[in-house]
Structure 1
């Protein structure tokens, strides 16, 4: 996109059908996995989001040949000529993406060395990479911190390890999977993340020849193999995008069919959506979400790792909760700064109070964490148009929903962040009948 702002005329329900493609939280990692194969890989259902372009650029820097297939979203990745890239080029292409750290294991296997620049990403809380580096050290990697980033070598190769994560981090689990499959011996990973995107990555690695066993209680065993081949895989749908459009339908009093969405991966969200007062129908080719009329109801939500309520789901849903009759409470246990976006919603007329040390609640089911926060939303409160700037990916989409819900005109700037995880969202707004001005 060449423009960085949108002017929304609110008060019009979203109605119609849009399609979601592969998950932003899977497709870039699947592309990195192609580095591990001795033959080309084919990834289907790839979304057109900026994180994909960042990873494609980094792969190209390392000699991976990328070609587009005849079908939309089909990519062929040939790692036959992988080579080390210049540090400055890696830094320039990585931008604000955190994906480069997942290159470490595959590049250590292929080249014996790897480099990652300083990592960016959304400003929603600390993104420590210690989990990643500690795991890589246990595999035998030597880590050296440089002014420009982090250099890694594996003078004696990588060997299987016993690893227990302090927290079921998605990124750290992906790091262990991508590193262990070619490491010598067996790896045991405890307290692993088990999100659907993790399972889809495991499916990809198994197609490549890996031996991975998922045990109960967040335990994963990986038996290292000497060689992997390429894969042919269709990426799982983006459940975060699907939930965002569902929340937009609810907040605006609309009716949106999200093509490509599946029930199984969204069961926790669907339960909360129904409790708030929304309705949905599950079809073979997607899920229809709509506001059936009548008042919305307040809820209490505790975010958590899968199979809990995802932190990425709460921000878009908050806008709908400003229209619920009563007091809703969200306990955010994953990221410590995820409620920063609510300041702009209060500016638009919402009544949201953030408790930076969290709130005590004897009915809690999710274990309290030191850095958690809570937000109390009192509604219903009419929203009015305002000028607001996108702070992060999910918060940014929440601002779009707020603008669509509000009376009057809302100007949203810094839209580039939203394109990191939402494919063609401007065109999808048009398809759903939104009233806005956007100059490209």
Structure 2
């Protein structure tokens, strides 16, 4: 057990993340070229999908992030042979899949919520699955009820115990008519990964349709699945008896691309993000332009830069795709502290996603969080009971501070704030940023940031 825990704790080191603190001297624009690889929100799910095949799969453009390492560990304890023939490539061979002991699963699952998606594939392959208590970023309630209700509808028996949740399917899994209360990305992935080998047809209503979902559907179709995406968020899945492995290049990480874009704008810099594509970033690009940012779209990426004119305030409402992503608002808020006027960000996806603003306020930002949200006659996204709103008044000058990273996107936002601030900032718990940002310290160095690292 001790060796398993030690292995889990070394996940950050395996992706080149050994620092716990970064000391940043702010006020220097970011300038240069960096590359983004495959999306965290696709690659980890594609790795799980390999469990469904009866031959090995090849996944390309895999980022070196700790969430990938966590999923790799979980696959390996379930008997999947994982190899890396080239940098950024994974070969996943599930032909010797087996049940794993609770201690093994629990040792590796603490820093990720991905284990819930193992349920369908493991039920098909082994007839049982186990899920320990789930971790993830502390940005709000992420109930797994949507997942469990969908699994029950397809024939799974769910037993909750003190160690976690044990699932079985003594009569096998079957198709079902499922309507999600909210177009949850995770629950949509759960249904897809389970229904593709269930008997009969599954109709999923109110499904998520994010680009990463479409890329996962493309992978499953390569494996032999029959999936139809219909209008109005409806997906039909016709179950098949078996699936084969796949060869696939992952969609780029649009969250990382948008984060570097916001960093370029906030620091009055000029950053070319190789690998970024216009189509998946259209909603972000519109807001980026409204704020006053400039961008040039090339075949191999997008250049994001501050044009030298004052930034303008905006009103943003986060929403499911094709709306403005919740993961985009946190880095953007830092840039909005530089805009001349009052900006409003309505957060409708997670209820606690403005916790990161406390550090920005300590650094000098003028931000007021309304925990019950704000009414507005111009709202386009329907109000949700859990939503909040942040009012950002600018421009303000940020000053250096000591900041503890609370979560993945908030942590990167704190990095941006420190880069724009006058003076020195110490950012601790930066290892969490490696969950979704590949080699971000090396990229900061490439872009000319003035910083040092400490363990």
Q: Please, what TM-score do these two structures have when normalized by structure 2?
A: 0.96
The residue number in structure 1 matching 2:233 is 218
Match of 1:205 in 2: 220
Displacement, 1:2?
2.3
Match of 1:392 in 2: 407
1:339-369 superposed Cα distances (whole Å, 9 cap, x missing partner)? 0110100000000000000001000000000
Equivalent runs, 1:328-339 vs 2, <5 Å = 328-339=343-354
User: Which residue of structure 1 aligns with residue 396 of structure 2?
Assistant: 381
Match of 2:80 in 1: 64
**Would you say the 8 A contact 2:131–2:164 is kept in 1?**
yes
In structure 2, distance between residues paired with 1:276 and 1:134: 41
* Aligned partner (choices 86, 102, 111) of residue 87 of structure 1: 102
What is the rounded CA distance, in whole Å, between the counterparts of 2:172 and 2:180 in structure 1? 22
What is the match of residue 6 of structure 1?
A: 22
- Structure-2 separation of matches of 1:259 and 1:121: 28
The match for 1:234 among 249, 258, 274 is 249
Deviation at 1:222, TM superposition (A): 0.3
Among residues 36, 39, 52, which one is paired with 2:52 in the alignment?
36
1:105 to 114, 120, 123: 120
Mapped pair 1:407 → 2:422: yes
Q: CA deviation at 1:134?
A: 0.2
Tell me the CA shift for residue 97 of structure 1. 0.5
Give 1:77's match in structure 2, choosing from 67, 77, 92: 92
Aligned to 2:66: 50
Q: In structure 1, how many angstroms separate the alpha carbons of the residues matched to 2:432 and 2:91?
A: 27
Aligned-residue offset at 1:275: 0.2
Q: CA deviation at 1:425?
A: 0.1
Aligned to 1:133: 148
CA distance in 1, matches of 2:319, 2:337: 22
SS of alignment partner, residue 41 of structure 2: coil
Partner of 1:325: 340
Measure the CA separation in 1 of the matches of 2:155 and 2:346: 39
1:112-156 Cα distance to aligned partner (Å, 9 max, x none): 000010001101000100000000000000000010100000000
Off by >4 Å, runs of 4+ in structure 1: none
SS at match of 2:237: strand
Inter-partner Cα distance in structure 2 for 1:160 and 1:46: 32
Within-5 A mapping of 1:300-311: 300-311=315-326
Distance of 1:185 and 1:264 partners within structure 2:
34
Rounded Cα–Cα distance in structure 1 between residues aligned with 2:176 and 2:454: 53
Could you give the per-residue CA deviations for residues 97-119 of structure 1, whole angstroms, max 9, x where no partner exists? 00000000000000000001000
SS in 2 for 1:287: strand
Q: Which runs of 5+ in 2 are unaligned?
A: 1-16
Secondary structure of residue in 1 paired with 2:437: coil
Rounded to whole Å, the distance in 2 between the matches of 1:194 and 1:390 is 30
Mapping 1:172-321, distance limit 5 Å: 172-321=187-336
Output the CA distance in 1 between the equivalents of 2:324 and 2:65: 24
88-97 vs 268-277, greater mean Cα deviation: 88-97
Match of 1:418 in 2: 433
SS at match of 2:202: strand
Is contact 2:110-2:133 (8 Å) kept?
A: no
The answer as to 2:127 corresponding to 1:119 is: no
Residues in 2 aligned to 1:406 and 1:416: alpha-carbon distance in whole angstroms: 21
Q: Is 1:25 equivalent to 2:41 in the alignment?
A: yes
**1:69 to partner: Cα distance:** 1.6
1:3 deviates by 2.0
SS at match of 1:85: coil
CA distance in 2, matches of 1:332, 1:3: 31
Q: Distance in 2 between matches of 1:203 and 1:376?
A: 40
Aligned position for 1:370: 385
What secondary structure does 1:156 align onto? coil
The offset of 1:439, in angstroms, is: 3.5
In structure 2, the residue corresponding to 1:144 is in which secondary structure?
strand
Displacement of 1:398 after TM fit?
0.2
